[in-house]
Amino acid sequence: MVFGICQKTKMDWIHFIRSNSHYPHLELFANNYTDDSFMFDHDYLEQVRAESIENNLTLSIHAIQGINLGEKVERIHKVSRDIVYETLVCGEEIGAKWVTVHLGSAGLSNIDKNKKYKRLDLAINALEEILSATSNMKINIAIENLVRLPPNYGKSRLFDCVEEFEYIFNKLNSERLKVIFDIGHARISSKETENDMSMFIQEIYKHICAYHVHWNNGFEDTHSPLNNESIKEIARFKHFIADDQPLLFECYEQRENEISMKLLNELMIQTR
């Protein structure tokens, strides 16, 4: 197992790299997306690249939250697509391996399957356009599985279950399209769909480029640290996790990530 960490603070990237260099992979967060942000400053990005090489780190970027590739209002859809494109350009410049993307949400329940799939089609179109506009780049797009909301909620997230994974990857099969498998989100989705998390992973593990690691009570996406219950769950699919698929801790507090890491290290020793 290779570990990494997701930036959950508004720290600038170089500061974050310097303060966390004991993890071999860092997922940077594009939290300041404005014209004058460091994301568009070439000298700064060159420095980020140099720091990562010097510290022997691999990098990825988490695109800003709030974009919606499945949005039906055309202008919002296009802005979302362009932001993902620009984040890929930035990621390529710093030598990042992928950009993590939330596909977005729809103002309709999961019961309304046909309408939901139309929104997924919009997201697939946007991904196709982004992949084709960046075809000269090495960087991948990693779509993240999101929390599945209850049927009475009147809202749903795009790519919140294994069926939606199949729908997307049947329509769009690119070497550069990957999955970030978020274990905490999958826990909530598996409660909602009554599908087992290990089965979800068994279906998609070849497309996974990394895992987001956090836990919850099965209902609220609290980004809590792992506990004994979650370790039992992870033990069931541990054999699918390869060294080129880092486990990225995604709690808000550093000491919570340390708790998760300690439990995973113990699991490795026990099952060696």
Which chain residues interact with Zn ion by CB under 5 A?
182, 212
Q: Which of 45, 102 has the CB closer to Zn ion?
A: 102
The whole-angstrom separation of Cα 130 and Cα 125 is 9
Which lies closer to Zn ion via its Cβ, residue 45 or residue 248? 248
Q: How far apart are CA 179 and CA 67, in angstroms?
A: 18
Q: Are strands 58-62 and 156-157 parallel, antiparallel or unpaired?
A: unpaired
CB of 144 to Zn ion, least distance (A): 5
CA-only gyration radius of the chain, Å: 18
CA 142 to chain centre: 6
Q: How far is the CB of 36 from Zn ion (least distance, A)?
A: 28
Q: Which residue has the tokens 């046909």?
A: 114
Nearer to Zn ion, 70 or 184 (CB): 184
Strand stretches in 87-151, DSSP E: 98-101, 105-106, 140-144
Q: Which is nearer to Zn ion, 93 or 182 (CB)?
A: 182
- The dihedral through the CA atoms of 190, 194, 200, 202 has a sign that is positive
CB of 135 to Zn ion, least distance (A): 27
Shortest-Cβ-distance residue relative to Zn ion: 212
Helix boundaries (H) for 55-161: 74-94, 113-133
Tokens of 221: 């996406």
- In this complex, which beta carbon is closest to Zn ion, that of residue 83 or of residue 188? 188
Q: In this structure, what are the phi and psi dihedrals at residue 23, rounded to the nearest 5 degrees?
A: -95, 135
When the beta carbons of 182 and 233 are compared against Zn ion, the nearer one is 182
Query: Which residues partner with 215 through β-bridges?
Result: 224
Measured from the CB of residue 220, what is the shortest distance to Zn ion in angstroms? Answer: 15
Min dist. Cβ of residue 100 to Zn ion (A): 7
We find the least distance from the C-beta atom of residue 225 to Zn ion, in angstroms, to be 14
CB atoms within 10 A of CB 46: 12
CA 178 remoteness from chain centre: 9
**What is the smallest separation between the CB atom of 43 and Zn ion, expressed in angstroms?**
30
Both structure tokens of 112 = 């309304």
Please state, in angstroms and as integers, the Cα–Cα distance from residue 204 to each residue in 147, 171, 241, following that order.
Answer: 17, 15, 12
Comparing CB distances to Zn ion, the nearer of 45 and 149 is 149
